[in-house]
């Protein structure tokens, strides 16, 4: 029997999951649309797949993300309605951040609710994602002027579950500088690793690297892909879209022309030799591995770094992640004012090079106003970075309290302490078990999810 994989937005984490399932499942058929013009994919993908997916008696399970209006597809294709229908939420449109509430298009959240109603199993990538969706349904439906549906949360909750996004973590220990190797070894009593740490091999002796997209982010390396964006971008036919500033246009053009060349040069400057990276007198290395967009709140991040600079504190910063049609003006301003502190600036096309930067960094920072899971932060932790995350969104679900901050002032205070004593971050073993989010740990649960024994009735 065949598992039918459908993805209306084949990019970023959506692409990573489909590719992983396609690789691991013995019998599957995959149908996708490119990760462009997200709002149009959400509106019209069902009618495209109605024509693109051939009829087959072998289909047993249908797996799709919440970008697709599943209700429309099964109405247009009654033969697919008989399958076990699994709906996976990477994000939800009921709480996705917008600049102004007037910019929120009711249709996107409404489509997701309809899809849940016809699905047999609804899966969320975090408890935060699930609870924020279910508990927002009632208020969301009050936007309907009259004849509102009732008790939808009660109706939907029994079919909902949490299944974390599965990450194929690479073997990163070979990229660790000596001090990270020592911390790794000390925490596990691995004396052999300690011995090897005292005589590390050259960083150039690399093993083959799987060619999979990285999340930094938070989608992979294809420049035209991204996770679903907040309403109000130029792709959405609605008012309130912010026009791109001149500085944003200039910086975007610059990156498109020179990014690969500049990345190669910067990587040589950042990484150097493993022996040099272990010098505790080196400034604190801060990394920000996120999409260059407003919902990741780069303003808070760069204002914090500028305050560190004003106080005469030493640090270096690597700003990774993808750029898209609109680059917030703060990036051009920060690049100018922080030039002497920059180790790397911009998108790293190679996953291997991206991981190397994370392994050489000391602290990874999130300032996100939106996060339903956070692959980039977990990858950085897997590479030995000390995480600093907002005490909100999905982060308290994954990170212990010592890694959370409540205000920008608290973030500044923590980074200030680490700038003065980089060893506090470098000698710390992060208390997050990233293996719990690995494909190896989640494989059996996805196998059960995609088994056909509980298929829905025709």
pLDDT at 98: 61
Residues belonging to the chain? 458
Instruction: Give the whole-angstrom CA distance, residue 349 versus residue 124.
Output: 29
Exposure letters 403-416 (e unless 16+ CB within 10 A, then b): bbbeebeebbebbb
H or E stretch covering 89: strand 84-89
CATH number for the segment(s) 173-208+246-434: 3.40.50.2000
Question: Tokens in use for 95?
Answer: 């709480």
Is the fold of 2-166+441-449 the same as that of 173-208+246-434?
A: yes
Alpha-carbon separation of residue 32 from 49, 64, 213, 236 (angstroms): 8, 10, 17, 21
Fold of 2-166+441-449: Rossmann fold (3.40.50)
Q: What torsion, rounded to 10 degrees, do the Cα atoms 392, 298, 294, 256 define?
A: -140
Instruction: Give the whole-angstrom CA distance, residue 31 versus residue 40.
Output: 17
Instruction: Give the whole-angstrom CA distance, residue 396 versus residue 392.
Output: 6
pLDDT at 322: 81
Strand partners, 388: 365
pLDDT at 280: 54
Pairing of strands 84-89, 160-162: unpaired
Which residues contact residue 348 at a Cβ distance below 8 angstroms, ignoring those fewer than 6 apart?
214, 216, 263, 267, 320, 354, 357
Closest CA to 304 of 321, 286, 292: 286
Distance of CA 395 to the CA centre of its chain: 12
Return the domain boundaries, the chain: 2-166+441-449, 173-208+246-434
Q: What angle do CA 358, 299, 420 make, to 5 degrees?
A: 55
pLDDT at 105: 86
pLDDT at 1: 76
Pairing of strands 84-89, 59-65: parallel
Closest CA to 14 of 35, 28, 31, 29: 35
Closest CA to 38 of 16, 17, 8: 8
98: Cα within 13 Å, side-chain hemisphere = 22
First-residue to last-residue Cα distance in the chain = 17
Which residues contact residue 147 at a Cβ distance below 8 angstroms, ignoring those fewer than 6 apart?
none
Q: What angle do CA 44, 50, 51 make, to 5 degrees?
A: 105
- Scan for tokens 């959405």, then name that residue: 236
Which backbone phi and psi does 121 adopt, to 5 degrees? -135, 135
Question: Tokens in use for 440?
Answer: 């190896």
The model's pTM? 0.78
Contact 385, 358 (CB under 8 A): yes
Assign 439 to helix, strand or coil. Answer: helix
- Scan for tokens 């930094």, then name that residue: 216
Tens of pLDDT along the chain (458 residues) come to 799 999 999 988 999 999 999 999 989 999 999 998 889 999 999 999 999 999 999 999 999 999 999 999 999 999 999 999 999 999 999 987 665 555 568 999 999 999 999 999 999 999 999 999 999 999 999 999 999 999 999 999 999 999 999 999 989 999 999 989 888 775 544 434 433 433 344 333 333 344 444 444 333 322 233 343 333 333 333 333 333 333 343 434 444 444 434 444 444 444 443 334 444 579 999 999 998 989 999 999 999 999 999 999 999 999 998 887 789 999 999 999 999 999 999 989 898 999 999 999 999 999 999 899 999 999 999 999 999 999 999 999 999 999 999 999 999 999 999 999 999 999 999 999 999 999 999 999 999 999 986 444 43
Greatest alpha-carbon pair distance for the chain in Å reads 72
- Scan for tokens 């011995």, then name that residue: 195
Contact 49, 71 (CB under 8 A): no
């Amino acid at each position: 029997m065949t598992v039918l994989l459908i993805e209306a937005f084949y990019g970023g984490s959506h692409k990573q999951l489909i590719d992983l399932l396609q690789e691991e499942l013995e019998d599957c058929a995959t149908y996708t649309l490119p990760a462009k013009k997200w709002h149009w994919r959400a509106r019209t993908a069902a009618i495209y797949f109605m024509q693109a997916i051939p009829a087959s008696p072998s289909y047993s399970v249908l797996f799709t993300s919440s970008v697709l209006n599943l209700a429309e597809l099964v109405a247009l294709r009654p033969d697919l309605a008989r399958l076990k229908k699994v709906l996976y939420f990477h994000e939800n449109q009921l709480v996705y951040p917008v600049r102004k509430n007037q910019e929120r298009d009711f249709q996107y959240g409404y489509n997701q609710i309809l899809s849940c109603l016809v699905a047999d199993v609804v899966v969320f990538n975090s408890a935060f994602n699930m609870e924020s969706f279910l508990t927002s349904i009632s208020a969301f439906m009050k936007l309907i002027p009259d004849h509102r549906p009732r008790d939808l949360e009660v109706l939907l909750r029994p079919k909902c579950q949490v299944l974390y996004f599965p990450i194929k973590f690479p073997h990163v220990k070979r990229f660790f500088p000596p001090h990270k190797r020592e911390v790794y070894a000390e925490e596990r009593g691995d004396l052999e690793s300690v011995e090897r740490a005292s005589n590390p091999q050259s960083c150039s002796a690399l093993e083959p690297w799987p060619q999979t997209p990285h999340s930094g982010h938070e989608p992979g390396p294809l420049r035209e892909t991204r996770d679903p964006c907040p309403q109000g971008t130029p792709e959405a036919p609605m008012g309130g879209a912010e026009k791109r500033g001149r500085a944003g246009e200039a910086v975007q053009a610059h990156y498109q022309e020179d990014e690969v060349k500049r990345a190669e040069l910067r990587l040589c400057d950042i990484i150097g030799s493993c022996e040099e990276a272990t010098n505790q007198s080196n400034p604190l290395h801060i990394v920000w591995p996120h999409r260059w967009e407003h919902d990741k709140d780069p303003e808070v991040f760069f204002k914090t770094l500028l305050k560190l600079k004003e106080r005469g504190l030493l640090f270096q910063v690597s700003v990774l992640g993808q750029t898209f049609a609109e680059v917030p003006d703060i990036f051009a301003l920060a690049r100018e004012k922080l030039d002497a502190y920059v180790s790397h600036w911009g998108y790293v096309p190679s996953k291997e090079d991206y991981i190397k930067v994370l392994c050489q960094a000391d602290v990874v920072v999130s300032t996100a106003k939106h996060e339903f899971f956070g692959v980039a932060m977990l990858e950085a932790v897997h590479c030995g970075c000390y995480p600093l995350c907002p005490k909100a969104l999905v982060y308290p679900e994954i990170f212990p309290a010592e890694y959370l901050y409540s205000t920008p002032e608290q973030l500044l205070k923590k980074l200030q302490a680490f700038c003065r004593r980089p060893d506090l971050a470098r000698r710390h073993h992060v208390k997050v078990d990233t293996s719990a989010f690995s494909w190896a740990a989640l494989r059996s649960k996805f196998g059960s999810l995609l088994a056909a024994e509980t298929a829905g009735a025709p």
